[in-house]
């Protein structure tokens, strides 16, 4: 159980905006505060593992964790094996990344996506049934809108839209914000301006996305070089302005937990 | 209708999801765009494997945002069996993206655009 309020955040945005690099850094900085963090990767392609500093692993949830749902029972075709709770599944099957971040994924596509169905369906059950107070949740959703608001980000109370100061990225951010706020859950949607290089960029992101900008991550060659090397930016350029901006983001969200709508 | 002489250029969603659902006669050519980062190259390799497995046709790798020989070597090493076309990292493309304009209109002489023009010319040349 965490003493501080639990954060349940999901990073969304247009492909290439820098979600994984920021999400991985965010998760590790949060864990360095001594609190348990679960990083949730629902992208069928590799990304977040690199940014956390983990070796890439395509493995789905193992068969031993999954069973067929009886035909007379309503619900998805597969489910967690009887007696195995969502928390048990994380304890057993999530990888442990640097700084103690736990990392859960449903596996990665090689060629035939059908090979991941069992794991994918069970993964969704796990993230739906996670206990509310055990881990901070940090999710990295695939680029675009398809997953973000079709149940995959259902654990999130805060959506962080990663936005580059580019016309296409700004347009995507507006659409993502609209979709997030159209749901029936109380969520807040905030913007992280990424690859900021000019003085008015953060203001541009705020104005064009219509979102509050809670972090402004500078465009830095050293950070980009870390990405190109395939290593976690936090390990390669820990003193960079970009890492500092993500650290400030962690503190900002910690100071301002989501104010739930009155029930 | 007669569609001879016409071409369709499709920009698929990021990742390989659409590629997994593409029928076997859907395309003549797949351009796999990768950046010189391990993540991007990994995704590109999976796309190339899908193209081969599904026998979708010819695949050409477009190495984008190439800054130097090391960047290009990273991509060519990952795709030893493919033609790799280098597109240089070019501030003109970034500026066009920031302004929401087509780079072909705003910077037709930029090195990245010229590289794309050469690629297009090659792909539509008779016998290619």
Work out the pLDDT band at A4, boundaries 50, 70, 90.
Answer: low
> Which has the closest alpha carbon to A257: A5, A55, A3?
A5
Mean pLDDT score, A61-84: 92
What pLDDT is recorded for position B59?
A: 93
Band of the pLDDT at A146, cuts 50, 70, 90?
A: low
Cα–Cα–Cα angle for B92, B98, B101, rounded to 5 degrees:
75
| Overall average pLDDT of the A145-166 stretch | 82
**How many degrees, rounded to 5, is the angle at CA A196 between CA A192 and CA A198?**
140
All domains in chain A, ordered by first residue? 8-255 (3.40.50.300)
Q: Using the beta-carbon criterion (under 8 Å), do B42 and A110 form an inter-chain contact?
A: no
| Type and span of the H or E element at A139 | strand A136-140
CA-nearest residue to B42 within chain A is: A46
pLDDT above 50 for B71: yes
Query: What rounded mean pLDDT belongs to chain A?
Result: 88
User: What's the rounded Cα separation, in Å, for the pair A127 and A257?
Assistant: 20
DSSP one-letter string for B96-112? HHHHT--HHHH-TTSHH
3-state secondary structure of A122: helix
Confidence of residue A154 (pLDDT cuts 50, 70, 90): confident
pLDDT per residue as tens digits for the range A110-132? 767 777 889 999 999 999 999 98
Q: For residue A50, give the chain B residue with the closest CA.
A: B39
Using CB atoms, which residue from B20, B39, B98 is nearest to A46?
B39
Q: Which helix (H) or strand (E) holds A196?
A: strand A188-196
Q: According to the model, what pLDDT value does residue A2 have?
A: 43
The pLDDT of residue A92: 96
**CA-based end-to-end distance of chain B:** 25
Q: Return the pLDDT at B13.
A: 79
Sequence-distant (6+) residues with CB within 8 A of A57 are A49, A95, A105
What is the least distance, in Å, from the CA of B126 to any CA of chain A? 33
pLDDT exceeds 70 at position A262: no
Higher per-residue pLDDT: A246 or A3: A246
Say what the pLDDT of residue A258 is: 63
Distance of residue B40 Cα from the nearest chain A Cα, in angstroms: 9
DSSP string, B48-93: HHHHHHTT--EEEEEEEEE-SHHHHHHHHHH-TTSEEEEEE--HHH
Q: Are A231 and A24 in contact (CB under 8 A)?
A: no
Residue with structure tokens 């169905």?
A: A117
**Confidence category of residue A45, pLDDT binned at 50, 70, 90:** confident
| Lookup result for tokens 């195995």 | A84
A189 strand-pairing partners: A159
Picking from A145, A225, A166, A8, the residue whose alpha carbon sits closest to that of residue B13 is: A145
pLDDT tens readout for residues A192-251: 999 999 999 999 999 988 899 999 999 998 888 888 888 999 999 999 999 999 999 999
Point out the least confidently predicted range of A23-32, B2-11, B44-53, B63-72: B2-11
In the structure, what pLDDT confidence band is assigned to residue A1 with cuts at 50, 70 and 90?
Answer: very low
Residues above pLDDT 90, as percent of chain A = 57
User: Which chain B positions have a beta carbon within 8 Å of A193's beta carbon?
Assistant: none
Q: What is the DSSP string of A140-181?
A: EPPSSSTTTTTTTTTT-SEEEEEE-SSHHHHHHHHHHHHHHH
Report the 10 Å Cβ neighbour count for A258.
17
Please compute the mean of the pLDDT values over residues A38-52 and round it to a whole number: 90
Residue B115 and residue B121: Cα distance in Å, rounded? 10
Asked if the model's pLDDT at residue A169 lies above 50, the reply is yes
A16 with B97: Cβ contact below 8 A = no
Nearest to A46 by CA among A103, A2, A87: A103
From B76's Cα to the closest Cα of chain A, the distance in A is 15
Binned at pLDDT 50, 70 and 90, residue B106 comes out as very high
What are the counts of helices (DSSP H) followed by strands (DSSP E) for chain A?
Answer: 9, 10
Closest residue to B43, CB basis, from A45, A228, A230:
A45
Structure tokens at A191: 């913007």
pLDDT for the residue A148: 62
pLDDT reported for residue A144: 67
- Give the Cα separation of A203 and A52 in Å (integer): 29
* CA–CA distance, B83 with A258 (Å, rounded to integer): 51
Task: Give the pLDDT confidence score for residue A261 in this predicted structure.
Answer: 36
Q: A-chain residues within 8 Å CB-CB of B17?
A: 44, 113
| CA–CA distance, A92 with A89 (Å, rounded to integer) | 5
Give the whole-angstrom CA distance, residue A90 versus residue B33.
Answer: 35
């Amino acid at each position: 159980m965490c003493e501080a309020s639990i954060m349940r955040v999901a990073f969304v945005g247009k492909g290439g905006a820098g979600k994984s690099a920021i999400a991985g850094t965010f998760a590790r900085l949060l864990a360095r505060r001594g609190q348990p963090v679960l990083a949730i990767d629902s992208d069928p392609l590799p990304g977040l593992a690199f940014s956390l500093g983990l070796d890439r692993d395509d493995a789905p949830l193992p068969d031993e964790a999954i069973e067929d749902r009886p035909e007379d029972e309503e619900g998805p075709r597969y489910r967690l094996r009887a007696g195995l709770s969502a928390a048990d599944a994380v304890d057993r099957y999530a990888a442990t990344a640097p700084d103690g971040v736990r990392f859960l994924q449903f596996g990665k596509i090689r060629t035939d996506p059908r090979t991941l169905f069992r794991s994918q369906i069970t993964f969704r059950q796990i993230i739906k049934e996670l206990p509310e107070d055990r881990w901070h949740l940090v999710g990295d959703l695939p680029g675009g809108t398809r997953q973000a608001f079709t149940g995959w980000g259902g654990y999130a109370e805060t959506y962080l839209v990663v936005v580059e100061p580019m016309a296409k990225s700004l347009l995507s951010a507006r659409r993502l914000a609209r979709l997030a706020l159209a749901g029936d859950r109380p969520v807040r949607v905030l913007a992280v301006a990424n690859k900021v290089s000019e003085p008015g960029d953060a203001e541009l992101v705020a104005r064009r996305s219509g979102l509050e900008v809670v972090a402004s991550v500078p465009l830095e060659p050293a950070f980009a070089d870390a990405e190109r090397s395939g290593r976690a930016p936090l390990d390669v350029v820990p003193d960079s302005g970009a890492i500092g901006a993500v650290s400030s983001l962690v503190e900002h969200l910690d100071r301002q937990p989501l104010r739930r709508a009155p029930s | 209708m007669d569609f001879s002489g016409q071409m369709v250029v499709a920009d698929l969603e990021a990742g390989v999801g659409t590629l997994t659902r593409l029928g076997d006669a859907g395309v003549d050519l797949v351009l796999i765009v990768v950046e010189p980062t391990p993540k991007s190259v990994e995704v590109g390799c999976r796309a190339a494997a899908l193209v081969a497995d599904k026998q979708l046709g010819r695949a050409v790798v477009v190495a984008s945002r190439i800054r130097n020989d090391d960047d290009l070597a990273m991509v060519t090493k990952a795709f030893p069996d493919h033609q790799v076309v280098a597109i240089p990292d070019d501030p003109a493309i970034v500026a066009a993206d920031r302004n929401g304009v087509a780079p072909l209109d705003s910077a037709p002489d930029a090195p990245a655009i010229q590289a794309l023009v050469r690629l297009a010319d090659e792909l539509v040349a008779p016998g290619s």
